Amino acid sequence: MHNFFSLQTIRERAGYFYPLLICIVVLIVYGHTLSVPFYMDDYSSIVENPAIAQHGGLAALWGYCKLRLVGYLTFAANYSVNNLDVRGYHVVNILIHCLAGFSVLWLVAGLIKTPVVRKKYHETSLDWLPLVVALLFVLHPLQTQAVTYIVQRLTSLAALFYLSSLSCFVYARLFGGTAKGRFCIAGSAIFAFLAFFTKQNTFTLPLAMILVECLFFTSSRKKTLKALLLLSAGMFVLWAVMASLFHLNPLSLSSLERLTQETELISRQDYFLTQLRVLWIYIGLFFWPAGLHLDHDIALSHGLSPDVLIGLSGHVLVLTTALFLVRRAPLVSFGVLFFYLGHSIESSFIPIRDVLFEHRTYLPNLGLCLIVGWVLVYWLPRTIGNKAAVVSTVILCLVLGIVTWSRNALWRDPVALWRDSAIHAPNKARPWSELGKYLLQEGDNVGALRIFLQVTKKSHGINETGKMPPRLDETAMVNLVVALAKGGEYELALFVTNKVLEQKITTQNLSKMLTNKGNILYKLKRMQEAEDAYRRSFSVVEKNYKAMYNLGYILFKQNRLDEAEKVLAMVPASSPYAEKKDKILAKVNNKRNALR
């Protein structure tokens, strides 16, 4: 038994011992998330997505989101097996997180075998580095949003493919022109293709390969130049393919402008200046993960204010240090440069409406995990001794695991999760609006109504000052109407509904508001107006099955049996309203039989 747990034996059996340990710790800290419900974008991307709900296949998903096709294929597969049972979605997300941990393990194991690292360090001095880095990666609480928030499977899956492709590239270089090397090249290409069609932040992969080549392999200037030329050609081909998918001219600057801007509400300059601060928030959350929450409230930066200048100076200092350490500590340099490279798509000049989300750190966090792992495995033993370093590493992993488990436990309770987010971002409307929605679902109509009234007074958008001026918060208004109706305030709810419908709102919220209007009018026994509202609702959003079911129900109540049957037949078996529909159809048949 003693021999089995000896360091030498564990090293020899690392091929299965390390992955097994990763699986165990992931199951411990994520196993209780299977009941975590859908949140925010889960609804538009999965629950209410007609491309998934109608089993439209590859063509429908391609039309919905070309550059995230692979990720949405996995959602469609989940839907076909699990429908809207969240457990199946979470099982897949946890599996992806495990596999991403394996990719980290494999990548770091390859990096410590490269010529530069082998020359710099003693042969066995970094043996534990792959395991420690992988454990830090899978246990860190900052990773939870990319795993437990179902739709952010796109982030973790993209990272899995990215790291797998990079790992294959490293081993292809280690194996050279052998059969194994060619196999790894093919694997790298396949994983790169999958990554590019999962999420756009993976487009930095060719740059990551060049970074590995320059830092870890001793190449001549001629080989480096050749690699850079190949990179340039590859990046242009990637850009040309992406532009062609959207029927744009790859040589046009307007095409570049269109494809690299998620929102026009924020200028590129303001977004970049804001990200100089946001990156430090990410770094702070990694090294001290207190204050994690779902929806951060970050004011925009519009000029070289003191906090922006301090942030910029800090980044320059860190990057300069990383370049200085290229020969002295190549793994540390790679960790720093990989962190910035991993954030370069979402935290640079490409404006995104939400300037900070924790899931965006999932892939870049590998760089920070590598730095911390190097400190624990190489630097700390030489400073405080091997035993103290091992104890420190174990304690750190235990603490991270406990914090991650606790964070995941919070995700299981929507009211607690959104209350926590609202406390951390008290001036942002969305956390309060979501909190009110879940209070409403739990039957706390008074508490929900109080929150929705508060949100409608302080709902916000973005202006040139970085503050949030009042504007209509559509989600809050939809929920306010529901709260008023549940409280029996039908006339007031109808008044608010009509006022909102006078505004220009999104198609989804327009359809929801019309459905709510139909519900209110039904309660007021204004049947014809209710019918008109329902019909308009699913003419706006064709797959609004709630409105279809409600219309069928009121038609049945009016003994318009043929019309009710026709409308209810439009509700598919995959809809959440299928069971209710079948009950009404059975009642329709019973009424018909009774009238004969």
Contact between residue 485 and residue 495 where contact means Cβ atoms under 8 Å apart? no
Residue 564's CB: how many other CB atoms inside 10 A?
23
Cα angle for residues 488, 490, 492 (degrees, 5° grid): 115
Query: 3 pLDDT band (50/70/90 cuts)?
Result: very low
Counting Cα atoms < 13 Å in the Cβ hemisphere of 460 gives: 21
Q: Please write down the HEC assignment for all residues of 79-147.
A: HHHHCCCHHHHHHHHHHHHHHHHHHHHHHHHHHCCCHHHHHHCCCCCCCCHHHHHHHHHHHCHHHHHHH
Largest CA distance in the chain: 92
In the block, which residue shows the tokens 């318009």? Answer: 560
Write the pLDDT tens digit of every residue in 9-46: 555 556 788 999 999 999 999 999 999 999 999 988 99
Inside any domain, residue 155: yes
- Output the pLDDT for position 255: 54
- Output the pLDDT for position 462: 36
Contact between residue 454 and residue 447 where contact means Cβ atoms under 8 Å apart? no
| DSSP letter for each residue of 363-430 | TTHHHHHHHHHHIIIIIHHHHH-HHHHHHHHHHHHHHHHHHHHHHHHHHT-HHHHHHHHHHHSTT-HH
Write the pLDDT tens digit of every residue in 332-362: 999 999 999 999 999 999 999 999 999 999 9
Residues 500 and 406 grouped into a single domain: no
Share of the chain above pLDDT 70, in %: 88
Residues 395 and 477 grouped into a single domain: no
Inside any domain, residue 448: yes
Write the pLDDT tens digit of every residue in 45-59: 998 888 887 667 788
- CATH number, domain of 541, equals 1.25.40.10
Inside any domain, residue 210: yes
- Output the pLDDT for position 357: 95
- Output the pLDDT for position 246: 65
Inside any domain, residue 107: yes
Reduce the DSSP state of residue 14 to 3 states and report it: helix
CA atoms of 393 and 228, how far apart (whole Å): 39
Angle between helices 507-523 and 527-540 (to 10 degrees): 160
Query: 562 pLDDT band (50/70/90 cuts)?
Result: confident
Write the pLDDT tens digit of every residue in 375-390: 999 999 999 998 999 9
Inside any domain, residue 324: no
Mean pLDDT of the 184-208 span: 93
Handedness of CA 220, 224, 225, 226 (dihedral sign): positive
Q: Which of 393, 411, 429 is the last residue of a domain?
A: 411
- Output the pLDDT for position 279: 97
- Output the pLDDT for position 149: 98
Tokens of 204: 């930095």
Residue 435 pLDDT more than 70?
A: yes
Residue 463 pLDDT more than 70?
A: no
CA atoms of 137 and 98, how far apart (whole Å): 10
Residues 427 and 399 grouped into a single domain: no
Inside any domain, residue 66: no
- Output the pLDDT for position 180: 92
Residues 15 and 163 grouped into a single domain: yes
- DSSP symbol at 152: G
List the single range of 310-319, 478-487, 549-558 with lowest mean pLDDT. 478-487
Residue 224's CB: how many other CB atoms inside 10 A?
14
Contact between residue 267 and residue 352 where contact means Cβ atoms under 8 Å apart? no
Kind plus residue range of the DSSP H or E element containing 517: helix 507-523
Please give the residue that has the higher pLDDT: either 427 or 198. Answer: 198
Reduce the DSSP state of residue 470 to 3 states and report it: strand
Query: 594 pLDDT band (50/70/90 cuts)?
Result: confident
Query: 242 pLDDT band (50/70/90 cuts)?
Result: low
Q: Which of 360, 386, 411 is the last residue of a domain?
A: 411
CA atoms of 249 and 242, how far apart (whole Å): 10
Residue 469 pLDDT more than 90?
A: no
Query: 461 pLDDT band (50/70/90 cuts)?
Result: very low
Residues 395 and 527 grouped into a single domain: no
Contact between residue 367 and residue 212 where contact means Cβ atoms under 8 Å apart? no
Tokens of 50: 């007609």
Handedness of CA 403, 407, 409, 415 (dihedral sign): positive
Contact between residue 132 and residue 279 where contact means Cβ atoms under 8 Å apart? no
List the single range of 273-287, 376-390, 401-415, 533-547 with lowest mean pLDDT. 533-547
Contact between residue 159 and residue 107 where contact means Cβ atoms under 8 Å apart? no
Q: Which residues of 337-373 are buried (b: 16+ CB within 10 A; e: fewer)?
A: bbbbbbbbbbbbebbbeebbbbbbbbbbbbbbbbbbb
Query: 570 pLDDT band (50/70/90 cuts)?
Result: confident
Reduce the DSSP state of residue 44 to 3 states and report it: helix
Residues 418 and 391 grouped into a single domain: no
Q: Which of 411, 439, 464 is the last residue of a domain?
A: 411
- Output the pLDDT for position 486: 83
Residue 475 pLDDT more than 80?
A: no
Inside any domain, residue 232: yes
Please give the residue that has the higher pLDDT: either 479 or 249. Answer: 479
Tokens of 130: 């792959």
CA atoms of 324 and 592, how far apart (whole Å): 84
Reduce the DSSP state of residue 460 to 3 states and report it: strand
Mean pLDDT of the 382-400 span: 94
pTM: 0.86
Report the number of secondary-structure helices (H) and strands (E) in the chain: 31, 0
Residues 159 and 28 grouped into a single domain: yes
Please give the residue that has the higher pLDDT: either 135 or 217. Answer: 135
CA atoms of 86 and 403, how far apart (whole Å): 23
* Beta bridge partners of residue 470, listed in sequence order: 460
Residue 299 pLDDT more than 80?
A: yes
- DSSP symbol at 299: P
Give the residue from 134, 36, 49, 45 showing the smallest Cα distance to 85: 36
Mean pLDDT, the chain, whole residue set: 87
Residues 399 and 502 grouped into a single domain: no
Mean pLDDT of the 253-275 span: 78
Torsion-angle region of residue 369: left (phi > 0), alpha (psi -120 to 50) or beta?
alpha
Residue 455 pLDDT more than 70?
A: yes
CA atoms of 503 and 488, how far apart (whole Å): 25
User: 469 is in which domain, residue-wise?
Assistant: 414-595
Residues 388 and 458 grouped into a single domain: no
Domains contained in the chain, number: 2
Q: What is the CA radius of gyration of the chain?
A: 27
CA atoms of 235 and 70, how far apart (whole Å): 20
* Range among 247-261, 370-384, 431-445, 526-540 with highest mean pLDDT value: 370-384
CA atoms of 484 and 514, how far apart (whole Å): 15
Angle between helices 205-216 and 179-196 (to 10 degrees): 140
* Beta bridge partners of residue 460, listed in sequence order: 470
Write the pLDDT tens digit of every residue in 87-133: 999 999 999 999 999 999 999 999 999 999 998 887 667 889 999 99
- Output the pLDDT for position 8: 54
Contact between residue 515 and residue 536 where contact means Cβ atoms under 8 Å apart? no
Residues 380 and 490 grouped into a single domain: no
Strands (DSSP E) found in 458-595 = none
Inside any domain, residue 280: no
Residues 515 and 381 grouped into a single domain: no
Residues 405 and 467 grouped into a single domain: no
